Amino acid sequence: MSKKILINSSYGGFMPAGPLLEYIKSLGIDIYVDKIPRDNEDFIKIVEEYGSNICSDSEYSSIKIVELPDNITDWEINDYDGCEEVIYVLDGKIYHKE
């Protein structure tokens, strides 16, 4: 089993669209103000079911799922001009995953 996290893999920023955006809005989350929980299992399932092209605002983002070992001790998202990577800790060492 692995830990799954949503990131934006292109420059621009994390901008959900389609069924992912609709579900996020239904929860009362404002994508411009609130922090979107990127490891939310329901969000991951929507991207897996509909595909990242449908769930991303392709003009500004390309949402993808990264898989990390399930025994990581910490993680965070780092971005450069909106293009993101996950930095995580496993066995006391720091790793990066795009």
What are the residue boundaries of the structural domains of the chain, listed by start?
2-97
Length of the chain: 98
Q: How far is CA 55 from the centre of its chain?
A: 11
pLDDT value at residue 16: 95
**What's residue 33's pLDDT?**
86
For 40-91, how does the pLDDT look when each residue is reduced to its tens digit (9 = 90+)?
A: 999 999 999 999 999 998 888 999 999 999 999 999 999 999 999 999 999 9
pLDDT of residue 59: 82
- Four-residue CA torsion sign, 41, 54, 69, 84: negative
| H helix runs in 41-95, sequence order | 41-50, 52-55
pLDDT at 1 over 80: no
Q: Which token pair is 74?
A: 């910490």
- Structure confidence by residue, pLDDT tens digits, 19-44: 999 999 999 999 888 899 999 999 99
